[in-house]
């Protein structure tokens, strides 16, 4: 499928499209898609899970439940998670900076506590800093690191995000597809059974061959990013998602805390 068609096609096989920042801009403008499809997810992966995902985010970024903080969301998209975050920030007196393409941001409500910064992160980091007006208490980037990994330098992203943090600040790179975790799962009895139930066949799951994972985050990338955070004086943790979330068997969350 051509990238231009992402903005107009009625039927898009999202599993077959390799999305990037420009691809998301196109999806965001497509009037035929649901809000979930505009951020690259078939409805089944998001529709009934957003509340549980949001509660998990709030557990992992405890400062969201405090008051009068500065929060940055890199890649909020246009579905319901950023709407929940906008509401929570209004209730708790937080300033919220949303960083995404203009096409995504235009679909989210405006509010006095919300500042929208358009453009490709981290290229627009100075505008993000200006919008924050000082150090940031929490950074959320949910289901975005896999795109930053391909199109930006993830170590530079880690450096920049940590540099924005106040002491005691916290970061969640959430919902990261981890190719190593996926492989471990599909080599297990439980993973084979999961695959067979999903496909309705007796086949074994297909595992990537050596060298085929060029654009994929795996254990080595995540451990490298944790080491990078450590080298900046931060704590870093790779933590699981609740098993009730749809991709918990192959995704991880990376949490960073500045002491």
Ligand X SMILES: C[S@@+](CC[C@H](N)C(=O)[O-])C[C@H]1O[C@@H](n2cnc3c(N)ncnc32)[C@H](O)[C@@H]1O
Per CB under 6 A, residues contacting ligand X are 21, 24, 39-40, 74-77, 79, 81, 99-101, 104, 120-121, 142-144, 147-148, 151-152
Residue with Cβ nearer ligand X (17 or 152): 152
Strand 251-257 relative to strand 165-177: parallel, antiparallel, unpaired?
A: antiparallel
**Closer CB to ligand X, 40 or 169, in the complex:** 40
Least gap, CB of 143 to ligand X (angstroms): 4
The tokens of 84 are what? 């929940």
Rounded distance between C-alpha atoms, residue 250 and residue 175, angstroms: 9
Q: At closest approach, how far in Å is the CB of 159 from ligand X?
A: 15
CB of 180 to ligand X, least distance (A): 21
Nearer to ligand X, 150 or 192 (CB): 150
The SS3 assignment for 31 reads coil
Cβ distance to ligand X smaller for residue 129 or 191: 129
Measured distance CA(24)–CA(89) in Å, rounded = 25
Distance of closest approach, residue 108 Cβ to ligand X, in angstroms: 10
Closest separation between CB of residue 19 and ligand X, Å? 7
Nearer to ligand X, 104 or 162 (CB): 104
Outline where 3-71 has alpha helix (H): 21-28, 35-38, 50-60
What are the strands of the beta sheet with 235-239, ordered from one edge? 114-118, 95-100, 70-74, 136-142, 165-177, 251-257, 235-239
């Amino acid at each position: 499928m051509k990238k231009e068609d992402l903005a107009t096609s009625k039927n898009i096989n999202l599993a077959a499209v390799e999305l990037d920042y420009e691809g998301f801009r196109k999806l965001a403008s497509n009037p035929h898609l649901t809000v979930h499809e505009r951020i690259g997810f078939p409805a089944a992966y998001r529709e009934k899970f957003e509340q549980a995902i949001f509660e998990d985010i709030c557990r992992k970024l405890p400062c969201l439940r405090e008051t009068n903080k500065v929060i940055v969301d890199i890649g909020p998209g246009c579905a319901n998670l950023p709407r929940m975050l906008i509401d929570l920030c209004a209730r708790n007196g937080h300033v919220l900076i949303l960083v995404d393409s203009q096409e995504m941001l235009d679909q989210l409500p405006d509010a006095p506590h919300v500042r929208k910064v358009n453009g490709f992160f981290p290229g627009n980091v100075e505008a993000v800093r200006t919008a924050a007006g000082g150090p940031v208490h929490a950074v959320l980037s949910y289901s975005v690191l896999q795109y930053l990994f391909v199109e930006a330098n993830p170590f530079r992203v880690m450096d920049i995000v940590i540099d924005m943090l106040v002491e005691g600040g916290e970061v969640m790179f959430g919902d990261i597809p981890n190719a190593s975790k996926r492989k471990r799962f599909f080599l297990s009895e439980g993973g084979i059974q999961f695959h067979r139930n999903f496909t309705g066949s007796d086949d074994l799951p297909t595992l990537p061959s050596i060298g085929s994972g060029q654009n994929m985050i795996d254990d080595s990338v995540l451990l490298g990013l944790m080491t990078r955070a450590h080298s900046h004086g931060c704590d870093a943790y790779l933590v699981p998602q609740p098993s009730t979330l749809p991709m918990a068997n192959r995704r991880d969350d990376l949490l960073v805390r500045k002491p």
